[in-house]
Amino acid sequence: MTVKPPPFEYVVATSVDHAINLVSQDEDAKFLAGGQSLIPLLSLRFASPTLLVDISRLAELRDVHRAGDVLHIGALTRHSDIHQLPLVKQDAPLLSEAAGWVAHSQVRNRGTFGGAIAHSDSAAEFPAVLLAVGATIVTRSADGERRIPCRDFFGSHFQTALRHGELLTGVELPRHAHFNRWGFSEFARRKGDYAIGGAAVNARVDERGRCTHVRAGLIAAGPGPTSAEGLDEALRDRVVDEAAVSEAVARVEGHLNPESNVHGTREYRRAVVAESLRRALLQAFDLDPAGTDRRTA
Ligand SMILES: Cc1cc2nc3c(=O)[nH]c(=O)nc-3n(C[C@H](O)[C@H](O)[C@H](O)COP(=O)(O)OP(=O)(O)OC[C@H]3O[C@@H](n4cnc5c(N)ncnc54)[C@H](O)[C@@H]3O)c2cc1C
């Protein structure tokens, strides 16, 4: 079935302020970045904005740089660059790995980091990584700049803390350090499809090998991007072994509430997310022989 989008006006923004002004003045206007989520929604008539403001040529939103302990990634950075840039591989290896799991190369070459975060699909990889590492979302609007911890940013069913006319300009991620460990696992029917379930894990260990902190973002585990509840309490101050991982996963699984859909029942999806979390934790704590090269800086 081919459906055509409803009619809309289209303007190419020449600056961040220009884009914000245009969208702020029209309550039915939307920003257009890579178009990889918005254009399909228009074509299916699930969205019908009167005005699309194309931000894709704003070079200032493509900047990736270090600032002290954080890595700043501009909103217009493409998924493929997140996957390939040496700076991202070094400072945010979990994010770089996850980017390779997003869709197919055609989508990764056009889709933008900011677009994926603003779209806030519960089955998307990037929100899970941001929750795992404790990233900060940076936005701009007519009222100025806001810095929003990601735990306060994502809501349920594609909702975020973004207000109308507020542009996501970039994200700040704590830079990977020698005491960090990470793991990523997801399951999809075909490589490049949206995940049926998945998990991104970020942990810290001390010099005695004890876990001092662990956080996981879960993929397709609920109505919005979801953190693994109870994980830190289960593993903190322990030398993590396979038994500890199983115990922690069982604890988290009880909190999971995925929605049944054409890809599987709630129970099946819960089991997939739990198994993904188990595998990601095994990688992170060097208990998975296949993942041993990935855990340290
Ligand atoms: C076939 C296919 C498979 C896909 N598979 C996956 C997958 O496996 N995993 C995954 O995570 N994604 C997947 N996607 C989605 C893809 O990652 C999109 O690129 C992403 O969700 C949106 O980024 P975009 O730049 O294309 O945003 P757009 O489509 O341009 O915009 C999406 C939404 O975000 C808003 N927006 C965009 N940029 C900003 C900004 N800077 N500030 C404020 N609001 C903004 C827009 O107004 C719109 O509401 C898939 C897409 C396709 C077509």
**How high is the pLDDT of residue 296?**
41
147 has which bridge partners?
Answer: 138
| CATH code that applies to domain 59-173 | 3.30.465.10
Average pLDDT for residues 251-261, to the nearest whole number? 91
169: part of which helix (H) or strand (E)? Answer: strand 167-174
Class of domain 9-54: alpha beta
Question: What is the arithmetic mean of pLDDT over 281-287?
Answer: 96
Is the fold of 59-173 the same as that of 183-290?
no
| Sequence spans of domains, the chain | 9-54, 59-173, 183-290
CA angle, residues 51, 56, 59, in degrees to nearest 5: 135
Arch. (CATH architecture) of 183-290:
2-Layer Sandwich (3.30)
Distance 253 CA to ligand 1 centre (A): 28
What angle (nearest 5°) sits at the alpha carbon of residue 177, between those of residues 171 and 182?
Answer: 80
Instruction: Give the residues surrounding ligand 1 with Cβ less than 6 Å away.
Output: 30-38, 40, 75, 102-103, 107, 111-112, 114-116, 118-119, 121, 124-125, 162, 167-168, 194
Closest C-alpha residue for ligand 1 atom 14: 103
Please identify, by atom number, the ligand 1 atom nearest to the C-alpha of residue 104: 3
User: How many angstroms separate the CA atoms of 183 and 292, rounded?
Assistant: 10
Alpha-carbon distances of 189 from 85, 125, 165, rounded to whole Å = 28, 16, 37
Over residues 37-72, the pLDDT tens digits come to 999 999 999 988 999 999 999 999 999 999 999 999
Q: What is the pLDDT of residue 99?
A: 98
Per-residue pLDDT tens over the stretch 147-161: 999 999 999 999 999
Alpha-carbon distance 80 to 18, whole Å?
A: 27
Distance 7 CA to ligand 1 centre (A): 21
